[in-house]
Amino acid sequence: MVTYEIYPVNLSRQRIWDFWVHAPLPAGATFLSAEAPGIFTYGFNGQEVTFFTLELPADTDVGPLRIKVSVPQVAPGQLTPAAVQGQPAFQPAPAEPIISLLTAQVWANWRNAGRDVGRRVEAEAKSSSGDMIINPEAGEHVVFDQTGDVPFASYDLTALGLQKIGPTLELIFHTAAPLGPVGEPLEYTFYIDHDCLAGTGTLKEGFGMDHRIRYRHNRGRITVESWLPDTPGPEAGQTTVEPGQAEAALVEPPPASWHDIEGIDISPIIVDNKLILQLPYDLVDDDGQFCWLAKAANRTQAFASRPPDDELPNEDALMLAHIQLLLPPAEPAPVQ
């Protein structure tokens, strides 16, 4: 089963009217169910799921709009459509089942409101996602991003995939174009807040980041770091009483910075438009819950100002940064 979650966000200062979200069913998928918050109605016509609300207030986010689909395996001995294999005719199915990649798109349309309609703002508007491509058998948690929001495609994040594979946390940075040869001034960073508390770690977008995993493409090297005090000292919130003081004084914690974690040696895996990093899973808590942020940057010196970074999720969708990754349930032991 695959679950899609869509988070509509109205960033304008005006409400919008007659807001529709259209989600055509991916080829080969079977519709199971849909869910939506109370302001939305939804339906399924056999080909696409639609969500509708009469009004989406200004400066608000709503969600998730949730769609669940199933994808059957291709059993051995069946004929497999050539489109799956990119071949001109039907071919006998191989001995092992085939799981096709699912490709989905979502688009929305609405009517604008306000004094600028018809002058600087179109009366009706439309927006669509790029291709959302997933492997339904991978067990990934995938968050997609808008494309074209940074000037160079090689660091334009289109999605980030996370999955737990045994003792490993696998990160997959998906970009709009290949990274290119090692030596390009590109940088990809993943932050982990293991307890989702702003008061621990270093503050970033409202989270207290405890670990930083950074891949520098100009060197082809990965560093894994923790936010730690530079020198031993009291923790934040502790108090001490100095000689001659009548009352305890709140002591500031010692300066802290990023420190390398010893004993972790990771090599990047680069395949086309994907950068894959495989990390020790003990960087997150045992229950698998943590918060995260990803960033891609182009450190080129060729321009008067450095190109903007691409962050995922962006500041308008930070609700997507909380995740729980758990091991799949163990298979029962065979009966002796």
Whether 78 has a pLDDT exceeding 60, the answer reads no
Rank 17-21, 83-87, 94-98, 282-286 by mean pLDDT and report only the highest. 17-21
State the average pLDDT over residues 8-13: 84
**pLDDT category of residue 324 using cuts at 50, 70 and 90:** low
Task: Tell me which long-range contacts 264-271 makes (C-beta under 8 A, separation of at least 24).
Answer: 264/224, 266/222, 266/224, 267/222, 268/215, 268/220, 268/222, 270/179
Query: Rounded to whole angstroms, how far apart are CA atoms 179 and 11?
Result: 31
Whether the bond between 64 and the residue before it is cis, its omega within 30 degrees of 0, is yes
Asked whether 277 and 267 are in contact (CB, 8 A), the reply is no
Reply yes or no on whether the pLDDT at 85 is more than 50.
Answer: no
Q: Which amino acid is at 13?
A: R
Q: Residue 133 carries which DSSP code?
A: E
Instruction: Tell me: pLDDT of 6 over 60.
Output: yes
- For residue 227, pLDDT over 80 is answered with yes
Cα–Cα dist 163/172, whole Å: 9
Instruction: Give tens-digit pLDDT for 173-212.
Output: 999 999 999 999 999 999 999 888 888 889 888 888 999 9
Q: Say if residue 25's pLDDT is above 90.
A: yes
Q: What is the pLDDT of residue 164?
A: 84
In whole angstroms, what is the distance from residue 110 CA to residue 16 CA? Answer: 7
Q: Check residue 291 and give its pLDDT.
A: 87
Residue of 40, 2, 3, 38 lying closest to 21 (CA atoms)? 40
Domains located in the chain, CATH noted: 1-75+99-137 (2.60.40.1530), 138-327 (2.60.40)
Q: Are 162 and 141 in contact (CB under 8 A)?
A: yes
Let me know: does 17 contact 55? Beta carbons within 8 Å. Answer: yes
pLDDT of residue 63: 75
- In this predicted structure, the answer to whether residue 230 has a pLDDT above a threshold of 80 is no
